[in-house]
Structure 1
Amino acid sequence: MTKLLVATMAVALALTGCSTASRDDAAHGKPLVVTTFTVLADIAANVAGDRLAVESITKSGAEIHGYEPTPGDVRRAAGAALVVKNGLGLDAWFDRFTDDLHAPHVVASDGITPIPIASDAYAGKPNPHAWMSPLNVVVYADNLAAAFTRIDPAGAAVFRANAEAYKQRLRAVAHDLVDSLHALPANERALVTCEGAFSYLTRDAGLAERYIWPVNAEQQAVPRQVAATIDFVRTERVPAVFCESTVSDKAMRRVAAASGARFGGILYVDSLSRADGPVPTYLDLIRHDSRTIVAGLTGKAVQ
């Protein structure tokens, strides 16, 4: 990020640091909650219900690793009653601005035991994609209900009730996910993807995990990563491989061609689709990914 952009943001903050009232007016009088990405916005909206206005900084389809906030993004955060971050290093790109703002914020993943990244430059750091386990999102819901109560104490009972109802749906989706993947034969019980974003999902479902790069901040697959993935797919006789919606699938299609595996389809992780797309909500995302994985590994995917 250039010094000019940083300076522009500083001016924006100076002009909008007291704009909470105007933002709330724009949200029809409801306190504004800003999240760092669309998945988190949907989770937050389920807990907030009608009492709060929830917006995502990034748009549908955006790549969130290494995102660079614009002055407009920072203005929105300055006018928010609360900023919701995932944590675990995912949205560190926004920390330096919210720290300067002293904006009220909550880390949705607080209390979750992270799975460490296993390879390459990120080895040992926490895998940030904790929301890919619906059981982890149960923790998110509790954290959000508590944070929303701090900014709107009168809504405490509503937030608790919304969180409990949402947690029931999360547990049901988690059960369906594990049940649908549990019956796969041994050589089909492996998930091979472009990004290592599925560690929490594969842990829950009892699948082996393999990926080309650990986080999308890299995105450019190097030959050794591709070769190692091809070797794994061949050796384990994995029938299908997958890639995420926010990155190019070219490297994974090379893996499929060289290994003889099918390209099983596109999975969603870092971003929801638009309302008329395949994953307009977080629960839709988990259901879509589960169906796509099973269909791809069993040869039923249509590509």
Structure 2
Amino acid sequence: MKVLQRFSALPAMDGDGVNINRVSDFKQLRFDPYLMIDEIKSDDEQDFIGGFPPHPHRGVETFTYIRKGGFEHRDQMGNVKAIRAGDVQWMSTGRGVVHSEMPLADAKEGLHGFQIWLNMPAKDKMRAPIYQDSCDKANPKIVNEHGATLHALAGSWGFNHNPDEITATIEKLAGNGAIADVSLAPDGHGIVNLERFHTVCVYLYQGELHYVDAQGLRESAGAGQLLVLDALELCHFQAESNGAGLLILAGNPINESIVQMGPFVMNTQAEIDQAVRDYQQGLFGQIE
């Protein structure tokens, strides 16, 4: 694989004092259609026990994936779901969602999960919200003979030149977004063909990968780093002796300028101001 840019996640805090690591770009949009990747990873409940009390969103898609532990999701649409290890949840928030995500009381072994934000096209930002999750249907996976396992979290995926071998429960993300979790055993490897996409990013959450950069130099990346790849090159993932775990984020740019303020992502400052007024006036609804 050929890496064009590399970014490191930075410590941040969100919700009610939840410690996270975050990679985001709301200005230059170098990950378009993706805007932000938050990772929560801790065995100390003090890092996440406060959770995310009720808060709004407009104009953005949120994609949550849990690898260990879990959250209870509630929203003003009436959805109440326990999102546990292996589950994903997608909200295309459109004109407005109010939701909360609080740690499950029976999840006692720490928490590891991600929330990924995608931009929405201007034409969709004020449509009705959409909610989906995979709680009732396990995400499909492929295991190859070289120690690589791919879990399809959104969209269609395949190893070794077959991009449509399996399809996740959740599809139709903004920008044709597709997301997968790839686990590599020690010295494991796999090839993924993603040339149908314009944007391909890899977030490494475990282990180490070696790669060739845009200048042809050999480099390595470790946990907490996001790599922007050349989508026209075959993505050949090769782990070292400790194995590796990574998320692949693929999609096509929306190519629209945005204005972001907290949980609102719109196209103009006037639209942001309207979102704030609508929320303050209770037009987003409330969780029952």
TM-score when normalising by structure 2: 0.30
More strand by share: 2
- Higher-RCO chain (CA-CA 8 Å, sequence separation at least 6): 2
TM-score normalised by the chain length of structure 1: 0.29
